[in-house]
Chain A
Amino acid sequence: MELYRAHVLVCGGTGCTSSGSPAIIDKFNEELEKHNIKNEVKVVRTGCFGLCEVGPVVIVYPEGAFYSRVKAEDVPEIVEEHLVKGRIVKRLLYHDSIAQDQTIKSLDEVGFYKKQMRIALRNCGIIDPENIEEYIAMDGYKALAKVLTEMTPEQVIEVVKASGLRGRGGAGFPTGLKWEFTRKAPGDKKYVCCNADEGDPGAFMDRSILEGDPHSVIEAMAIAGYAVGADQGYIYVRAEYPIAVKRLTIAIAQAREYGLLGKDIFGTGFNFDIELRLGAGAFVCGEETALMASIEGKRGEPRPRPPFPAIKGVFSKPTLLNNVETYANIPPIILKGPEWFSSIGTERSKGTKVFALGGKINNTGLVEVPMGTTLREIVYDIGGGIPGGKKFKAAQTGGPSGGCIPAQHLDTPIDYESLIQIGSMMGSGGLIIMDEDTCMVDIARFFLDFTVSESCGKCPPCRIGTKRMLEILDRIVSGKGQEGDIEKLELLAKNIKAAALCGLGQTAPNPVLSTIRYFRDEYEAHIKEKRCPAGVCQALLRYVIIAELCKGCGLCARNCPVGAISGERKKPYSIDADKCIKCGVCIEKCPFNAIKKQ
């Protein structure tokens, strides 16, 4: 064992990898070699730290210096100054990590992490996901050992039930109950599956868990296998997540090598193994019955339920299907007990929830907070507020199945019930923040466009109904909205919700319904006044020259590609709305900011 006096942790999540962290790792190794301190300093590639906005991120322990936006060119300075001479490179520190007295705050003290509580993400950003021993060091596989040697399957299910854990995939079904149904289902061959087909626009928490801590999912699936009486597991992960696939493959191989998967685990006679199934990235394959069809090698289409997967799942055998984040919560629950877990969160929603924070927010990234944290805390305390001092308009939760939360509900505690009550839902945890410059009709159209192109086409309400809704929305944003369109949308939505075959179709109209509910005036402005209040919908915009500001220089007219601007020099110019193609060149060129969109 080498003696290391410092550890350099480099984020290897998808975000930081794409912004250059592999080159940073190479450069560290090269520089350490050059200074001849390679045997004193260990470089570790970890999973996502969460603060993707300021990546690539590098943390140096034992000081805990949090360097952000690191480039390969910065590495020689970090090595020379910090690792050789012991002087922290202040210019690269994350801005919030320097306290007023110029000392470095510990990570828990930084605004972004202060209100967070990491259970599912406990090891992400701390351990090397490709090294099973580091996972074991953090009490990994201890929970599996405990259930196999000390508990009966019924006791395991009781613990999960007592913890109050609910499915993190979105619907929030009690996890322990699902395990119990599967255990009690008749049949000797059973399966345990993991849904890692994360497809919501803006969601990436499952990916980050798989990339940062794949063993936590593997361990939990083995525990579930013991509890429900299964010896085979499948992880269904989309092929568009190459880093997650690679780390899962490595993790499964390591677990087999250490005898933590395979036959006779811990000498208890319990057998369990896991295989990966790669999905081609169809949104519908995240729906449980479609996912199971896809695992079997069939076309990923949903089927009516019941029978539920617990009775008739993969290969028509009883199957337990949980989401990645749900599984990641299991080992700590087993080790720390159900009382510990149920003491976190709200009355009916226990534990924490991971959100992928995106859109118009300063700290884009991954956050894990106790259930019941308010949206305001997430947006302002953790997310650092809206860029450019703009006003918060709405938060979209739950992807295409969810809805919008407007500013008046900023103080709603986030849990399953509260969100449903205000017309949204937890969903898998995508949280997209929108500011005053966002057009809500356009947002509804965006999500519906997604559902229309991802509909599997099996049932008419989803295939045809959502298409009709999209046509109406297209009409509205292009300025051809008609009286009664809102009512038509509502009627279609109601019928699609009632008639669609699977959860995707049933929830597809949600973004439209929730935007109508809270921003009906914007729909009306589009339809009746042919105006887009947020100034987004191209067809409804007019470019006008404000006469008082125009100096008559003629720059706009010379640059207009269609000759829509005319005037006399030294006098205010004007734009011919019929000729204008709204390209925006005139706004860019005007030195006096005299041209506005209306």
Chain B
Amino acid sequence: MKTLKELEEIRQRALESVNLRKERNGTRVVVGMGTCGIAAGARPVLLAFLEEVKKRNLQDVIVTQTGCIGVCRLEPMAEVYRPGEEKVTYVKLTPEKVRRIVAEHIVNGRPVTEFTIGAADQQ
């Protein structure tokens, strides 16, 4: 090790590998991964969330999963919990929709209403 910069680079790189292991109060994204969700394509959706979070280096966002949320016909679904706000349920997700949700809702705080369960019900 010759420089402090080198140490800091390793630290930044390695931080991602341990970052998951702490208690957090930030945003939680929960992807429905019951049989119905998985069959409808929840895995690419989950991976898209992870990739976006990593790409944007969002420190306080965790992506996790749950079983069947209950409206199987609208899968793949995900719920976004932000501290102090009501949960938002997104339905019929695709990796493309995920990218918009991360950019508009998780980063900028504006839910993408057209992808939510409320919008889907009105159709």
Contact = CB atoms under 8 A, between A and B. Distances in A.
Nearest to A4: B20
Contacts of B18: 126-127, 134, 137-138
B1 A87 contact: no
Interface in A120-158: 126-127, 133-134, 136-139, 141-142, 145, 149
B94 interface: no
Contacts of B50: 3, 5
Nearest to A264: B2
A145 B30 CA distance: 40
B65 A86 contact: yes
A312 B38 CA distance: 70
A1 B16 contact: yes
Contact of B66 (A40, A61, A86, A258): A86
Nearest to A88: B66
Interface centre among A5, A59, A84, A139 (most CB of B within 10 A): A5
Contact size range, A:
35 or more
B23 A64 contact: yes
Interface string A256-281: 00111000111100000000000000
Interface stretch (B4-12, B83-91, B98-106): B4-12
B3 A267 contact: yes
A134 B17 contact: yes
Nearest to B32: A86
B46 interface: yes
Contact of B14 (A108, A126, A137, A267): A137
Interface string A94-107: 00000000000011
Contacts of A107: 23
B119 to A, nearest CB: 25
B77 to A, nearest CB: 12
Contacts of A86: 30, 33, 64-67
Contacts of B16: 1
A458 to B, nearest CB: 44
Contacts of B51: 3
Nearest to A9: B21
A53 to B, nearest CB: 22
Contacts of B21: 7, 9, 59, 61, 126
A388 interface: no
A462 to B, nearest CB: 47
Given A86-B33, A149-B4, A7 B67 contact: no
A488 to B, nearest CB: 58
B117 interface: no
Contacts of A3: 47, 50-51, 54
Given A137-B17, A266-B1, A87 B67 contact: yes
Interface in A76-121: 84-87, 106-108
A6 interface: yes
A258 B20 CA distance: 25
Contacts of B20: 4, 6-7, 61-62
B34 interface: yes
A258 B66 CA distance: 41
A6 B1 CA distance: 31
Interface string B48-88: 00110010000000111111000000000000000000000
A59 B23 CA distance: 12
Contacts of B63: 5, 62
Nearest to A267: B2
A62 B67 contact: no
Contacts of B15: 137
A315 to B, nearest CB: 29
Contact of A260 (B1, B13, B17): B1
A26 interface: no
In the A-B complex, the 6 residue pairs with the smallest Cβ-Cβ separation, listed nearest first, are A137-B14, A259-B1, A86-B65, A133-B14, A86-B66, A62-B62
Given A133-B13, A134-B18, 16 more contacts: A1-B13, A1-B17, A3-B47, A5-B46, A6-B64, A40-B47, A86-B33, A86-B65, A137-B14, A137-B17, A139-B11, A145-B7, A149-B4, A259-B1, A259-B2, A266-B3
20 contacts: A1-B16, A3-B51, A5-B64, A61-B21, A61-B22, A62-B24, A62-B62, A85-B34, A85-B67, A133-B10, A133-B14, A133-B17, A134-B18, A137-B18, A139-B11, A141-B7, A259-B2, A260-B1, A266-B2, A266-B3
